[in-house]
Amino acid sequence: MTQLALFDLDHTLLPCDSDYEWGQFLARIGVVDSQYYAKQNERFYQDYKDGKLDIHEFLRFALKPLSEHSRAQLKEWHDQFMAEVITGQLRQKAVDLVKKHQDAGDLCCVVTATNSFVTRPIVESFGIEHLIATEPATKGVGSDVIFTGEVKGIPNFREGKIQNVHTWLGEQNLDLSQLPRSYFYSDSMNDLPLLEQVSHPVATNPDDRLRQEAQKRNWPILELFA
């Protein structure tokens, strides 16, 4: 019977935050006002770590650059981002963790708050087919499709992850409560709602608050980047 392995991405499979790094990259190559963007990026990142991020305010900020350029230009920049920033952040222990579940025949999926434009190529580099991410809204058809700067559906953040996971599982004709084993690997206290939903929560490279919670609940703690 199917077993499920869910993975957060940033600071879980990656030792960095891909959303934050993408913003820093855009500032570095001059796509956005570097001083303003770097300052706002830092503020939102700190809010996230402190557990007080306004996800809607952040997404208006993060998705705006996507709406200002063509898909072809964005892909060119993302290819450069992958080569210059992300490839060097792939760690063998993280790759091996994913492979262990894949070799066991588990259904593997990355569940991340970071938008799918930024994360899909990263997730593919781990050999993972399935991705549940915050989805940027688009308009147009065919080669004329562009991002609007808005969000499609429910932001994949905190409780939103639960709803989006259940929707995705329903599309696979699966129910979380009926799976014999379900794993979720995450570093962040922001993911406590989804960690509580699975049969095998694993605090992975946990932040201080999640580490304390995991110790209190006797959840396993996994260090991939120590």
Nearest to 5 by CA among 223, 212, 146, 194: 194
User: ∠ CA(180), CA(186), CA(191), 5° rounding?
Assistant: 90
| 55/136 Cα distance (integer angstroms) | 13
| 200/104 Cα distance (integer angstroms) | 16
Q: Which of 10, 17, 191, 207 is catalytic?
A: 10
Instruction: Indicate if 10 belongs to the active site.
Output: yes
Rg (CA), the chain: 17
User: ∠ CA(117), CA(136), CA(138), 5° rounding?
Assistant: 105
| 76/57 Cα distance (integer angstroms) | 27
Instruction: Indicate if 79 belongs to the active site.
Output: no
Q: How many CA atoms lie within 13 A of 150 on its CB side?
A: 6
Q: Which of 8, 19, 106, 207 is catalytic?
A: 8
Nearest to 22 by CA among 73, 63, 68, 69: 63
The residues assigned a catalytic role are: 8, 10
